């Protein structure tokens, strides 16, 4: 229930209503905010260079994720197209056999007609939707010779098989059509993201572009420092491991022999991987300078997973097409144990990959508008590194 206690606050009267001083101030603020909201945006509302850079990076990241989706869909489309072609070839062959069986049945009927023998109603048979039902209903099988029975059995079998294959081919065609539609959607998604990034960059002034370049330079310098730190850490760890191995070799007894054998087995495995990695890296180095093109697998251009796939193929190792599948091939190793040839995956959605070359550096196809290059694995900060995989 509302209070009826009277009170006389100080304030001003607006439209016959007495308002407290605090309410007057609030109304004034509301009026000012309303005027500000209705006013034209000021120059200060323009996004900062840092905000533009982050937005562009986000768009390129989204484009890469869309590219991997496009790659997966395109690969699926190719597989489905092969299946459809195979089914259609099978249907064509079975239809030919069905026609041959039908002609043979027709020849039997014609021969019986010429000799005046009691002939089955072959015309009705050949037009029947289900020949087996026709035979069951007319007891025609009892009046056929053994050779005719074989021909009829062949005809019925081929018709059933052909009908089944035609249904499979029809279903596969529908699936292929759906996948092709998804492929088109994925392609359009990539193009939208790239167009948005280009639009943002095109609106920058010369001064803003210079500031953006300065920001990128600082990021590269920081990434290079992180790469150097990783190289130093790995060098220190390797030196420590060598010292431990040397101490073990100076030991005596069975444990020394066992340690030597274990080291020998490990060395053989390392040697095999090193040889393959050397081939993969040699190939990747010859691709430096080629443009990034989304969906490309070489030889003139690459996207990120297309480059790693082609590089390891040169070493005799077949990798899947997409980053999402490549990350599951091989052995996951900690960043501290990374070796040349390993695959470095980035972002939570695993949308980017590079080929490690040593000393904290990798060769990768970075993004649209860029070229295959050697760069620190910390190019986007350590936080975006998802995992390291040894593929062979």
> Which SS3 state, helix, strand or coil, does residue 53 take?
helix
Rounded to whole angstroms, the Cα distance separating 290 from 282 reads 15
- Number of residues that this document lists for the chain: 392
Number of helices (H) and strands (E), helices first, in the chain?
A: 9, 8
Shortest CA distance to 65 belongs to which of 190, 191, 198, 200?
190
Rounded to whole angstroms, the Cα distance separating 12 from 21 reads 7
- Catalytic site residues? 304, 352, 364
Question: HEC profile for 200-246?
Answer: HHHCCCHHHHHHHHHHHHHHHHHHHHHHHHHHHHHHHHHHHHHHHHH
Q: Please classify residue 249 by burial: count the beta carbons closer than 10 Å to its beta carbon, then call 0-12 exposed, 13-18 middle and 19+ buried.
A: exposed
């Amino acid at each position: 229930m509302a209070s009826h206690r009277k009170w006389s606050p100080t304030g001003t009267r607006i439209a016959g209503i007495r308002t407290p001083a605090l309410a007057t101030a609030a109304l004034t603020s509301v009026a000012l905010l309303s005027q500000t909201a209705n006013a034209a945006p000021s120059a200060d509302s323009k996004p900062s260079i840092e905000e533009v850079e982050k937005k562009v990076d986000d768009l390129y990241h989204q484009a890469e994720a869309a590219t991997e989706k496009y790659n997966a869909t395109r690969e699926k489309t190719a597989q489905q197209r092969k299946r459809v072609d195979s089914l259609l070839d099978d249907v064509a062959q079975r239809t030919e056999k069905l026609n041959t069986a039908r002609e043979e049945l027709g020849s039997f009927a014609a021969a019986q007609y010429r000799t005046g023998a009691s002939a089955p109603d072959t015309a009705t048979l050949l037009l029947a939707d289900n020949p087996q039902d026709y035979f069951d209903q007319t007891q025609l099988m009892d009046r056929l010779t053994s050779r005719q029975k074989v021909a009829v059995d062949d005809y019925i079998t081929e018709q059933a098989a052909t009908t089944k294959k035609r249904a499979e081919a029809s279903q596969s065609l529908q699936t292929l059509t759906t996948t092709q539609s998804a492929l088109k959607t994925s392609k359009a998604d990539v193009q939208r993201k790239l167009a948005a990034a280009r639009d943002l960059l095109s609106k920058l002034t010369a001064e803003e572009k210079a500031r953006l370049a300065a920001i990128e330079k600082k990021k590269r310098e920081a990434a290079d420092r992180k790469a150097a730190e990783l190289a130093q850490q790995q060098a220190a760890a390797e030196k420590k491991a060598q010292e431990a191995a040397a101490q073990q070799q100076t030991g005596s007894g069975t444990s020394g022999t066992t340690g030597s054998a274990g080291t020998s087995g490990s060395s053989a495995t390392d040697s095999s991987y090193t040889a393959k990695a050397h081939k993969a890296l040699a190939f990747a180095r010859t691709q430096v300078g080629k443009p990034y093109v989304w969906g490309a697998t070489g030889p003139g251009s690459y996207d990120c997973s297309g480059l790693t796939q082609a590089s390891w193929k040169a070493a005799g190792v077949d990798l899947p097409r997409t980053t999402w599948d490549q990350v599951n091939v091989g052995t996951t190793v900690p960043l501290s144990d990374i070796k040349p040839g390993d695959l470095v995956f980035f972002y939570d959605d695993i949308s980017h990959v590079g080929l490690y070359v040593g000393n904290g550096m990798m060769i990768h196809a970075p993004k649209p508008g860029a070229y295959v290059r050697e760069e620190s694995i910390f190019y986007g900060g350590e936080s975006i590194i998802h995992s390291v995989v040894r593929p062979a």
